[in-house]
Amino acid sequence: MPTNVQFISAMYFVGSVSLWIRTHPLLTVFVLFAVILFSIFLFILIKPINISGLSSNSNPVSDFGESLLRIEEICQEEDARGDLSKAGRSILLHYDRKVENVIVFLHGFTSAPIQFLELGEKFYQRGFNIFIPRQPCHGFDDTSTLALQNYNAQVMVDFTSQVIDIAHGLGDRVTIIGLSGGGTLAAWAGQNRGDVYQAGSIAPMLGAGFIPAPLTKILTKLLLRLPDFYMWWDPGLKADNPLTEDYQYPGYPIHALGEVLRLAYAVEAGALRSAASAGKVTMVSNANDISVSNPKIDQLVSIWRSKGDNLTHYQFPKDLGLAHDFITPTRDGFRADIVYPTLLDLFTN
C-alpha cells in the first residue's frame, strides 16, 4: 500500500509540474536559465585557484660581460621584430662595469619600459646600473593588440626570474621595483627570491579598487573562468581614454588581468606559509588610489610584518591627489617635487 501511495504522489507531482510548465512557458525558460547560471557560478566559486607549479629556477649571472651580452640579445630580438614601439623596448643604463647597486624596474600592466625611464635616470645619476625590461606581450606598436591573451602567471614568474638573474651581473646588490602589475611581480620576487637585496612594490595589483577585499578571490576566479573577452580601461571613452599614454594599451583581455591576480594570490599564500625571502621588502601605496585595492595591500603588509621585521611600508597621503600611475611624468597632476625624491630616499637608504 505505501508503494501505491508513493507512486500516485509522484505521478501527481509530475502532472502538476507539467501543467505549470505548459501554463508558464516563458517563466519556465527564465527559471531554467537562472538555474544554469547559478550552477556555473557555483562551480566557479567552488573550484580552487591553481597556484601549484608557479616557480622558476634561478641561475644568477656573476659576470658583467655576460649580463651585457644577454641584454644585447634581448634588444636585438626586439629590434628585429619590427612590431614594437620605441617606447616599448627594453632600456639599459650602465657604467660599463659591475657596480655596487643595480635596479630592475618593472613597468605596469599594459604599459611599457619608458614609463620608468625618467625615474631610472635619477637613480643612474646616483651610481646605479639600471635595467628596464619589456614585459612579455607588452610594448607593441599596435596598442589594440590581443597579445596579452598569452600573458599568464607562469610567464610572469619566468620573466621576473630571468631579469633578476641577468641583473646580478650588473650589480652586487639587486633591487627590483615594479608598479601596479609590475608591483605584483616585484612582490613575488620579494617573497621568493632570497638573492634579491630589496624588492619594492609600488601600488601593486593585489586586488581591484572597486571590489571589497574579501571578494578579491571571487573576482579572480571569475576573470579566469569566464569566456575571455576584451575590456577597456574606460568603457565609455575606449581607445580615446586621455589617461592612457599613446604607447599603452587602452584595454586588456580579462584572463590576463585574472592571471595577474592569480600571481597575487600565490604571493599571499606564500607569505602565509613563510617570511619574505628578499633582504628587504618595501611597499609603497597611494591613499588616493581607486584602481588597486589598498586593503589588500595592507593585508599583505600585515602578513609580512607578522613573519619578520624586514618590511617598510610608505603611503602617499590622499590629499596629494595622486593618480594610480604616479610614476609616468606626463600624467596630469604628476608631482615630480614629491614622488621622485620620496622614492629615491626609500630605495637608496
Q: Where are the beta strands (DSSP E) in the chain?
A: 91-93, 99-106, 129-132, 171-179, 198-202, 230-232, 251-253, 280-286, 311-316
pLDDT at 19 over 80: no
Residue 106, strand partner residues: 178
Residue pLDDT, tens place only, 122-131:
999 999 999 9
pLDDT range class, residue 235, cuts 50, 70, 90: very high
* Residue found under cell 502538476: 16
Q: Which SS3 state, helix, strand or coil, does residue 303 take?
A: helix
- Residue 53: predicted pLDDT: 75
**DSSP alpha helix (H) spans, 47-193:** 64-81, 117-124, 153-167, 181-192
**What is the Rg, in whole angstroms, of the alpha carbon atoms belonging to the chain?**
25
Dihedral sign from CA coordinates of 229, 162, 325, 85: negative
Within 8 A by CB and 6+ apart from 326, the residues are 203, 286, 316, 334, 335, 339
Asked if residues 97 and 234 have their Cβ atoms less than 8 Å apart, the reply is: no
- Residue 7: predicted pLDDT: 63
Residue 312, strand partner residues: 282
pLDDT at 171 over 90: yes
The single-letter code of the amino acid at 135 is Q
- Residue 46: predicted pLDDT: 67
Of the candidates 343, 347, 349, the residue with the CA atom closest to the CA atom of residue 176: 347
The grid coordinates of residue 221 equal 576566479
Q: Which SS3 state, helix, strand or coil, does residue 31 take?
A: helix
The grid coordinates of residue 145 equal 593588440
The answer to pTM > 0.85 is yes
Of the candidates 210, 177, 209, 219, the residue with the CA atom closest to the CA atom of residue 312: 177
> Whole-angstrom Cα distance, residue 44 to residue 47?
6
